[in-house]
Amino acid sequence: MFDLAPEHPYPDGHRPDEAPAPHPLLAPVLGLLGVWQGRGEGEYPTIDGDFTYAQEVTFSHDGRPFLRYEARAWLLDADDAPLRPSARESGWWRLQADGRVEALITQPTGIAEIAVGRAAEGAVDLSTHEVALAPTAKQVDATRRRYTLAEDGTLTFLHDLAAVGQPLQHHLAARLQRKP
C-alpha cells in the first residue's frame, strides 16, 4: 500500500533563490515568482460605472519550464474595504526557448483561454490564441494581458477585453507589490 507522504515531495518554489532551482527557461520570468497583492481599477462599456478591486496573484514553479499562475480578486468599496469576491483564475504559463509564452488559463465563469506572447526582462505580453466557452459562459472573444515589473519592484497589470459584442478595449489596470 502507498504510504501517505506527510509533505509533498516536490513543493513549489516562490523565490528564484530557494529550492527547487528554477528551470533555465524561466529566466525571463524569475522576477515574477512569489505572491503579489495590490489594488486596481476596472471598467467596461457594458458595466454600470467604474469599480475598484484588490487582487492577489501567485506565480510559482516546481523546477520544470512552466509557471503555476493563480489570481484572485475582490471588489472594494469607496473606503477600500472588501465588498465581495470577484474574478478568479488559475493556469499554467509554458516558457519556450525563444522567450515565447503559452499560457493556459481557466475561470469559474466558464471561460478557458489559451494566450500566447513573449516574456523579456520581467515584461510579459499575452494575447488570445483561442478561447473556449462553457455552454452558459458569457461571450469572450479575446483578451490581452500585460505585466511590467518596474525598477521600484511594482508589478503593473493591464487587461484588455473583447467580450459581449464589444471590441478589444481596456477592462482592468492594477499595481501590485510582492508580499514579504
Residues at the contact surface with ligand HEM, assessed by CB under 6 A: 42, 44, 46-47, 51, 53, 55, 73, 75, 86-87, 111, 138, 140, 143, 159, 161, 163-164, 171-172
Least distance to ligand HEM, CB of residue 49, Å: 10
Nearer to ligand HEM, 46 or 136 (CB): 46
DSSP codes joined into one string, 39-64? EEEE--TTSSS-EEEEEEEEEEB-SS
Least distance to ligand HEM, CB of residue 134, Å: 13
Nearer to ligand HEM, 30 or 37 (CB): 37
Cα 69 to the center of its chain, rounded Å:
6
| Rounded Cα–Cα distance for residues 146 and 125 (Å) | 5
Does residue 106 have a known ligand-binding role?
no
R_g over Cα of the chain: 17
Q: Which residue number places its CB atom closest to ligand HEM?
A: 46
Closest listed residue to residue 102, CA positions, set 130, 132, 133, 60: 130
Least distance to ligand HEM, CB of residue 31, Å: 21
> Can you give the three-state secondary structure of 139-164, one letter per residue?
CEEEEEEEEEECCCCCEEEEEEEEEC
Residue tagged 529550492 (cell numbers): 19
Nearer to ligand HEM, 22 or 89 (CB): 89
H or E element at residue 4: none
Least distance to ligand HEM, CB of residue 98, Å: 26
Least distance to ligand HEM, CB of residue 82, Å: 12
Which grid coordinates belong to 70?
493563480
Which grid coordinates belong to 126?
499575452
Nearer to ligand HEM, 55 or 58 (CB): 55
* CA 64-17-35 angle, 5° bins: 80
Does residue 179 have a known ligand-binding role?
no
Nearer to ligand HEM, 100 or 138 (CB): 138
Residues in the annotated binding site for heme b: 46, 138, 171
Binding-site residues, in ranges, read 46, 138, 171
